[in-house]
Structure 1
């Protein structure tokens, strides 16, 4: 996989198209392989804004993203992980050529529906997400920013794919991770507390996503980031009757086991896949 040459080398191998998305640090454009015509996407992250920030962690994560993403998605990888096809880097930017997921993201799906997802659909999505996380964790990669915006759909197949490995970290040699990384509503309490942590932070975040799919709201709320963090640290999990009136006990049991403050008792991604609610409602996604 190319690792140098920057945008000039990128343009020699890919035809760049229109912008299809943007995030905190860069843009995503449609692109096409010059050799095969395959439609893909390229995520470009300029380094200058990251150097200007006071937190050097952002630049370090951007520079390590190609290595960690490749480790997570190298064949044979999970069909629910966005694959990295090529990487180009120079002094100015990092460019990652990835799967084109033009079916939108989970946040857009929920917003467009204007209503909650039925349990069978929420279970199918949760199963695919757990499958992606289990595959990453087996390779020693923690995503660390699981949220609806990073859960993308393949328009052709409808499959969910876990994308954006910009906050991901490798823990494969048994090392503990640290640092306040992630998005406030979805971040695990051990991350907020400033402790060292492991890959189960992803399961907590996935539990928040599941809670949101079932209820239309987040389990730990605050008007500001500090207030959200306080709510996460308290970890008081409630199922308001109005929001959860039609949600099955089995679904709520899985949420409880994913949003468990005691990390030793929190389910792993593999255990989520074996939960009775996922097995009975998740369909063939469990077998992926």
Structure 2
């Protein structure tokens, strides 16, 4: 496998900058596709931050969900960690809300779009929670939009934590405006801390501002602990207000879970209209941090030009020649039996098409060869030049005097000998009369016995 480097990508523009990392929009030269490349300067990070960066690579490589930013590849060059991710062309949700706020009164997010985004955020969170992963930093800036702004993808799992079943986390993480009360009070918390953050995001989409605002952290913590916020604008339905209230419960045990929220009528209707295929891929093992960065073992690449074993589905379609196997995803280098079977059948089909194409070309070439042979064995070639006699020359030139030398050349041009270092057009034409044109090597190759038999008859 070739060693990947930054030179394999074309940097288009810079998307964002952090304390120790930066994100770029890049184009992969081998396939021409656009990706987001995250560059992490490992030399300036503490051990905890290094583990967080590697943990994000581990979690992203373990997930395959349409509502979570997809992992493509990770590699280390020097002291820098590069993570190639799926590119969301619509920016993030925070940029969208800021754009609507700047427009002023009368502009707001449509409720139907809020429900659609809520369903997709819940679907992505449910995938994380089912694998024991707490996102811990759900906010508008970490929710990315597709190019048409119709779908969202959860991203930035830098502070995500993997927790075993029935266990709690204790480390403080997240953004203050979206942090749950139990995290603020340094209490153990579970995956429902993400549900609180989700409720804050949905409220912000409706009101264009977070539910809890304050001038300092002390006042902000006080408001969040009380759980008091302004009611949602009456333009939105009662069901949306109740949905937000289920997420913003102070006590985590009273807060709804992802499964409970997905069973709501408004969410279930959208779930029935969209078919989601969840992967059965298990969570990858911990990526161990070593002193020598070159010894760190990173997950293998997973571009869209490859097929995962779990995603290969072989089906049969009827054709004029019987049944042919097709796949719903032809982009993988896996060694699964289904993938090998598809590759073999695909090669056989391509080989058959190539043979048919070559046979048609050979038949056409053979016909051209026969046509060339018919013209070949004539006494004179097509480009033969007629040499006039002395009498004809005198008639054409009028009263011009004919010298003995000119008379001799006109009477017998084939018998004239010229010096070796002198080649005239007349001599070149004589050579064409003396010798027949030679066949090229390719024109002497005939594909069938019938063509050769036809040629022998002509000879």
Report the TM-score, using the length of structure 1 for normalisation.
0.85
Contact 1:189 1:261 in 2 (8 A): yes
User: Following TM superposition, by how much is the alpha carbon of 1:160 offset from its aligned partner in structure 2, in angstroms?
Assistant: 0.6
Structure 1 unaligned spans of 5+: none
Q: CA deviation at 1:57?
A: 4.1
For residue 150 of structure 1, what is the aligned residue in structure 2? 142
- Aligned-residue Cα RMSD (Å) equals 2.5
- Which is greater in Rg? 2
| 1:34-53 equivalence runs, <5 A | 34-51=29-46
Q: Would you say the 8 A contact 1:153–1:159 is kept in 2?
A: yes
Q: Verify: 1:107 aligned to 2:94, yes or no.
A: yes
- TM-aligned CA deviation for residue 90 of structure 1: 5.9
What secondary structure, in the 3-state scheme, does the structure 1 residue paired with 2:210 have?
Answer: coil
Aligned to 1:66: 57
The reply on whether 1:97 has 2:88 as its aligned counterpart is no
Indicate conservation of the 8 Å contact 1:144/1:167, yes or no.
Answer: yes
CA distance in 2, matches of 1:189, 1:91: 42
Structure scoring higher RCO (CA < 8 A, sep ≥ 6) equals 1
Name 1:201's counterpart in structure 2.
193
* Offset, 1:24: 4.2
Q: How far is the alpha carbon of 1:146 from its aligned partner?
A: 0.6
Shift of 1:17: 3.2
> 2:219, 2:20 → 1: CA distance?
25
Q: Is the 8 A contact 1:177 1:198 kept in 2?
A: yes
Look up the SS of the partner of 1:244 in the other structure: coil
| Structure 1 position 29, deviation (Å) | 0.8
1:279–1:214 CA distance, 2 compared to 1 (3 A) = farther
The answer (yes or no) to whether the contact 1:278–1:286 under 8 Å persists in 2 is no
Counterpart among 108, 112, 123 of residue 120 in structure 1: 112
268-277 or 126-135: which moved more?
Answer: 268-277
Q: Does 1:130 align with 2:117?
A: no
Does 1:184 find its partner at 2:179?
A: no
Match of 1:80 among 58, 62, 67: 67
The aligned counterpart of 2:245 is 256
Q: Deviations over 1:11-43 (max 9, x none)?
A: 254333321222343211122233322211111
* Alignment match, 1:16: 11
Q: Counterpart of 1:166?
A: 158
Seen in structure 2, the aligned counterparts of structure 1 residues 122 and 157 have a Cα distance that, compared at 3 Å, is closer
> Are 1:276 and 2:265 matched, yes or no?
yes
| Structure 1 residues 286 and 147, CA gap change in structure 2 (3 angstroms) | farther
- Superposed displacement of residue 112, structure 1: 1.4
Number of aligned positions between the proteins? 271
Q: How does 1:234-253 map to 2 (within 5 A)?
A: 234-239=226-231, 244-253=233-242
Distance 1:184 1:196 in 2: 17
Q: Which residue of 1 aligns with 2:256?
A: 267
Q: Is this contact kept in 1: 2:226–2:250, CA < 8 A? A: no
